[in-house]
Amino acid sequence: MVYLRTLGRFELISGTPPSEQVIRAQPKRLALLTYLAVATPARPHRRDTLLGLFWPDLSAEEARRALRQALHAIRRFLEDDILESRPDDSIAVTGDGSWCDAVAFERALDAGRTEQALGLYQGTFLDGVFVADASPEFEQWADLVRGRLRERATRASISLAALARSTEDHAAEVRWAELACRLAPEDEASARHLMGALADSGNRTLALRTYEKFAKRMVDDFGAEPSRETQAFAQTLRAAPVISPADAVPVADTASPSPATKRSPSRLLRRVMWTGLAIGGIAAAYLGANGLPRSSGAFTSADRILITDFRNHTRDSLLAGAVTEALRADFSQSRRARVLTRSQMQAALLRMRQPPGAPLSDAVIREIAEREGVKALVTGDVAALGSGFSVSAELTSVSRGEVLAAVREVASDSTRLLAAVDRVSRRLRRGAGESLWTLRTSLPLEQVTTSSLQALRLYSQALELGDMRGENRAAIPLLQAAVALDSTFAMAYRRLGTYLSEAGEQAGATDAILRAFRHRDRLPELERYATMGSYYLFASAPDSAIVAYRALLEQDPTNTRALNNLGAAYVSLKEFRTAEQYFHLALESDSTFSLLYNHLATDQFNSGEYADAGRTLDIRRAKFPPQQDAEIIGVSLALVREDYAGAESKTRELLATAGSDIERRTSPLRILGLLALIRGRLSEAERSIRSYVEIEARDGTPGEYLDGTILLAFIEAEYRRDPARAVALLEGALARYPLASIAPLDRHHAFLAYTYALAGLPQRARAVLLDFRTVDVSPVAIRGRMGMRDEGGYLRAEGAAELAEHRYKQAVVTLARAVEVSDCAVCALPDLARAYDLVGRPDSAIVVYQRYLQTPWSDWMGADGEFRVPVYRRLAELYDARGDTALAIAGYEKVAALWSNADAELQPQVAAVRNRMIVLRAGRPGH
């Protein structure tokens, strides 16, 4: 047995006491083994990923040699077959014969064995470990895991302290509360709990020493004092040590409480506070415990703030917008409030039937605030003051209209304007109840935005166009100009990535996200975690994305974007039930985002919960204006219920609604083509897809032009059995747009290679796959990372090439792996079934074909439209061959019904199917 210890100690141990021995190994090799064992979710890791993490500065050949040597050495240490090399060039820890304390710790917590788990937590994860030459991404991963494990240990000790308090086991409560304080010594709520536990056990002296120690730490580390609540509790302990912490909370309401409320709330408040801490995390509890008294009008960590556009009294028409966005950026560092985004404001305006881009009156702003549950407004002015500027602002309570803070700062010239805005923001945040030490640890405004005022002007103008007016394409060149002025402007890169992605320009979007990731140190903390999560999602590394978003949620447990994107990460892992939980949490956090309903409905669809998906879409329709993406989910629901006419009718409505809008016409045209294909109307399918291709050609988007042409070639190869015509279409498209002229991520390598293989040109397919393997996806991509590429699609195309070469057994292996790793739940299934069929395993083919037909998958446009009828027909033939007459007839009936109005060229096939049905129904043997 081999033991890997990472908590407090970093060592590899072999054997069992008393004969155990410590295995001497280089830190990098142990770190590699630790990553393989601990990275979540547990699954194989591609060698390319490991190269980028541990040997980022070596050439590909040198890095692979170093990895081979490291794995060989680890296997020599382990002796047992613990490391498994997979055919897809990945490495996995099998779990047999090995044990890791960090993994065992989390498994024990997940199983509810809390005390056992805390017994395993002997110290910080990889404490003081430095791995020479490892990438920053590895260090970031280690930091995230370190924080997660410490946080989970802290929460576990808190929960045990709360349990001990409920049973009045004072000694146990003190023990667990002390552990919580050791794990999170800066957490004020933990300190108060320990003070209360010591006081309840009769040890007032230690309770007061705990307070003095914590107060000294606050002064030494943060230059601040404990909160009024903690000071008041300490004062109470000096006078009456039996009073609990909640009894010492100052009563802020002016009305005198009733006799009942003078006594009972103390225990209740303390219980609620610690229940919230256990569920929501230390940061949330700390923030909730350090606000101003209620009479101050300060708001709590869950409250929203609306920062309105500052009024402009200068000759520079863009200056006030730049100041507004700078203020938003600085407030985003606050943990006491969530700033209402421009997108949320625009969604509210749509529900209020306000025209996009219209000036916002005070009455409209107040209605937005009331609708969105905003607690406070920030309004302000920017004015010229000689050669300089003045910036003034007010923080106002929405419910009472009370001014909570009014500030004014002066800048002697434009170069000092951002510093003035920084001072304004911090004074407002202080007025909102944020603690002084939090403000002192916030990054300077220039560091979380840009030092270029002109870049900030362009950024604010882009957000006005994109988020408020919906003119995303018009915003893109402004953001590109902003990052040209400041190549480290991470927030501009983030927004640019979003707009480019929504415009279908995936190559540019990926590049922008990567650059935001590179400059993530120039982002506020929460935005930094969000950027890391986005990057890892783009890089096809959902396990790392999950770690990043969980770290964000530890700071902001109700962060809507993190909850939503965690759902997206679990979707990519096909863990749809878990994803659904996060989408629900995101909607509980903020139900004003229409897109969240789309994500939830899609996930419910992929879980097979079609009725729930329909209900989610109905709720969305009642709350928001119609939107194409949501209606396309409705088309998918109609299709899965075999309502083909309804699906077609809905899609034609979408096309009519799109009018001349190019972006909104392409998806309905492609869907109509696939719906026609399913029903055997090949000419109609071609017309729709050609219309789609022509639009993409006029729009100058070669990647989408190529995608549509590949689909046309697929119809020729798969349905008309005309490989020469299919190849001619593909070669014509590549003559017009050579692969080298198309952005790497827009080349549709997998679908192109797959169609070449179907057309009988496996070597041509392999040439395309070679381009897939060798091309750089971005100038700032991590060396060796295979992210942002369709690995499942690659393997599917490889398997299709093997089928074309009659290497059927190898094709089974390759296509089975494609099914396993693909982001698409069904795409490679027909090919795998065909491989089983050709290798002489009809029963396996039947199982896979059935899985294809029964697996829910909302993105049927890329998977279901292509093969539905061919699958029904071959499945019927296989049932027929083994004598399952009823099942064979059912399959033939599907073909006959779907192709009842098929083109004339397909009618001979329909006639053959119907004749076979007649034979089977008559009970006559033979074929």
Tell me: pLDDT of 754 over 50.
yes
Q: What percent of the chain has pLDDT over 70?
A: 85
pLDDT at 514 over 70: yes
pLDDT of residue 447: 64
Per-residue pLDDT band at 129 (split at 50, 70, 90): confident
pLDDT band at 914 (very low <50, low <70, confident <90, very high): very high
Residue with tokens 């446009």: 861
Local confidence band at 323 (pLDDT 50, 70, 90 cut-offs): confident
Report for 136-140, 623-627, 855-859, 875-879: range of highest mean pLDDT = 875-879
- Looking at residue 527, what is its pLDDT? 82
Q: Give the position of tokens 């040997």.
A: 55
Residue 735: pLDDT above 90? Answer: yes
728-743 mean pLDDT: 93
* Residue 268 predicted with pLDDT over 50: no
Got the DSSP string for 319-364?
HHHHHHHHHHHHHTT-SSEEEPPHHHHHHHHHHTTPPTTPPPPHHH
Binning the chain into helix, strand and coil, the percentages to the nearest 5 are 65, 5, 25
Half-sphere exposure of 305 (CA within 13 A, CB side): 32
Most confident range, picked from 36-50, 765-779, 810-824:
810-824
Residues 6+ apart with CB under 8 A from 104: 120
Lowest-confidence region among 64-68, 77-81, 113-117, 185-189: 77-81
Q: Is the pLDDT of residue 289 over 70?
A: no
Q: Please work out, in degrees rounded to the nearest 5, the angle formed at the alpha carbon of residue 800 by the alpha carbons of 797 and 801.
A: 90
580-589 long-range contacts (CB < 8 A, ≥24 apart) are: 580/604, 580/607, 586/560, 589/558, 589/559, 589/560, 589/563
Rounded-to-integer distance, Cα 463 and Cα 494, Å: 12
Q: Which pLDDT score, from 0 to 100, does residue 870 have?
A: 93
pLDDT value at position 80?
55
* Percent of the chain clearing pLDDT 90 (strictly above): 29
Three-class SS of residue 564?
helix
Rg (CA), the chain: 31
Q: Residue 433 and residue 287: Cα distance in Å, rounded?
A: 10
Query: Which residues lie below 8 Å from residue 66, measured CB to CB, with a gap of 6+?
Result: 54, 55, 58
Report the mean per-residue pLDDT for the chain: 81
pLDDT band per the 50, 70, 90 thresholds, residue 779: very low
Average pLDDT over residues 217-235: 80
What is the mean pLDDT of the segment spanning 843-863? 85
Residue 283 pLDDT > 70: no
| pTM metric for this prediction | 0.62
pLDDT at 544: 80
Encoded tokens for 392? 């003034």
* Model confidence pLDDT, tens digit, residues 661-693: 887 898 899 999 999 999 999 999 999 999 999
> Cα(823)–Cα(540) distance, rounded to whole angstroms?
9
Contact (Cβ atoms closer than 8 angstroms) between residue 917 and residue 893: yes
Helix (H, G, I), strand (E, B) or coil at 312: strand
Residue 411 forms beta bridges with which residues?
A: 389
Tell me, what DSSP letter sits at residue 315? S
Instruction: Quickly state the pLDDT bin for 743 (edges 50, 70, 90).
Output: confident
Average pLDDT over residues 454-464: 84
Report whether pLDDT(256) > 50. Answer: no
Residue 100 — φ and ψ, nearest 5°? -125, 130
CA 174, CA 651: separation in Å to the nearest integer?
64
Confidence of residue 271 (pLDDT cuts 50, 70, 90): very low
CB 207 within 8 A of CB 199: yes
Q: Sorting pLDDT into bands at 50, 70 and 90, what band is 776?
A: low
- Mean pLDDT across 698-719: 91
Q: Say whether pLDDT at 298 is over 50.
A: no
- Residues 886-898, buried b or exposed e (16+ Cβ, 10 A)? ebbbebbebbbeb
Is 494 within 8 Å of 512 (Cβ atoms)? yes
Q: Which residues pair with 58 in a beta bridge?
A: none
Residues linked to residue 388 through DSSP beta bridges, in sequence order: 385
pLDDT at 358: 65
Peptide bond into 41 cis (omega under 30): yes
- Decide: 71 and 79 in contact? Cβ < 8 Å: no
Please tell me the predicted confidence (pLDDT) of residue 274: 28
For residues 203 and 703, which has the higher predicted lDDT (pLDDT)?
A: 703
- Residue 309 pLDDT > 50: yes
pLDDT-derived band of residue 270, with 50, 70 and 90 as boundaries?
Answer: very low
Q: Which of 388, 350, 346, 397 is nearest to 370 (CA)?
A: 397
How many angstroms separate the CA atoms of 220 and 199, rounded? 26
- Tell me the backbone φ, ψ of residue 299, rounded to 5 degrees: -115, 165
Checking if the pLDDT of 755 tops 90, the result is yes
- Mean pLDDT on 841-864: 84
Q: How far is CA 598 from CA 439, 583, 603, 612, in A?
A: 38, 10, 9, 12
Contact 860, 834 (CB under 8 A): no
What's the rounded mean pLDDT across residues 253-275?
30
Tokens of 179: 């552990």
Of 197-206, 334-343, 371-380, 527-536, give the lowest mean pLDDT range.
334-343
What pLDDT score was predicted for residue 671?
A: 92
Residue 435: the pLDDT is 54
Mean pLDDT score, 908-920: 94
373-423 pLDDT, tens per residue? Answer: 788 889 999 998 888 899 999 888 887 788 888 889 898 888 888 888 888
Q: What is the pLDDT of residue 147?
A: 85
How far apart CA 797 and CA 767 sit, in angstroms, is 11
pLDDT of residue 336: 66
3-class state of residue 12 by DSSP: strand
